[in-house]
Structure 1
Amino acid sequence: MSASVPFRLLRTSVFAVVCLALGVGAHLFGGGTVSANAMAGGLVAAFAVAYPLSGRERAFGAILPLLGGLQVVMHVAFSLAHVTSPVEVAGHGHSGLVPGLGMLVAHAWATGLTALWLARGEALFWAVLRRLAVRLLALFRPVASWTPFLPACTAEPPALRSAVLRHVVSRRGPPVFVDFG
């Protein structure tokens, strides 16, 4: 199913905002700062990369590398845009552009969970659209013919067949008292 322009813009905007929020949040959590210009550039970059790919449903396998690549680009852009002093570098999770192992693990974990969340939201979005399309088509489909709720009456009822009960226990009933006396 292909998406029209408003749906593509909506899906791309959600992806770009989530991607930016993850990048900014991770960078701030690591001790860095992010300027407004760097955030705007990150949002534009995420939007520009995601829009051509938003024409159809994407699964986790497509969302994860896209999100991971954009996180690397944002990390580098945020690091280059931030002028640091040696005191600030000591408090940040990395020095320059090379992140430490803890930051790589945190980024990978957060990116994986966010990609899974986006993939589940993507599947839900397309499932709702499909169900909505089926319901709307059913509403506008012309009814072929009118069918009554009750079947037409016949003159006499059909003859009942006799059925032999195969598993009938003939000893059913109250217990038989045996008199020994």
Structure 2
Amino acid sequence: MRVEEAHQALDQDLADYLEGKGVRPSCKAGCFACCFGWVTLSRLEGEALLPHLTEAQKARLLEEGPRRLALLAWGKDQKDFPSRFFRSRTPCPLLEGGLCGVYPHRPLACRGLLTEGDPAFCAPEAKPPQGHFLPVPWRMARLRMEALWEEERARYGFLLLGELAGLLYLLLRGLPEGREAVEALLEDLGVLGGRWGFQVV
């Protein structure tokens, strides 16, 4: 399955589910609290995103990527690292004027995060009530992710998962060939493994 097909299939699944349940997500343009989160994606999704990046977006990723990798090397074993990062209000480098600059090509992880509650509860400093984020759309996204992970294993012989800005930065710079070389690079950067680090599977 191609990445674009996975995106389209999830979008259709979500539309069918939401219509069938009568659920109307409160997510809308200009609502971007989730864009402060720590987003993980696979190599295949990252590679599919690269052709759609503008030169300005690439420049921001080349600037932000090393900072994210250094931050990850410092915090990848800390239990509360993603929540601390979220509260730091560091925006995704692809966020532009309160809108996703790659919205039609955004990762599955972003597509599956929906709420029908008050968007104010999505803010980093908020304490959302239990069930604020809809669990079924997230599970649907996860299933599509897993299908892409199998496709990536078939194509490269291994799966690479990592934080969005850091992974896109590495892809822009050029990943080495083969699992051992990729693991060595990530090990040198201090971001391989741990609770929140890059995973090579």
Q: When the two structures are superposed, what TM-score results if normalisation uses the length of structure 2?
A: 0.24
Instruction: Answer 1 or 2: higher relative contact order, Cα 8 Å, separation at least 6.
Output: 2
Q: When the two structures are superposed, what TM-score results if normalisation uses the length of structure 1?
A: 0.27
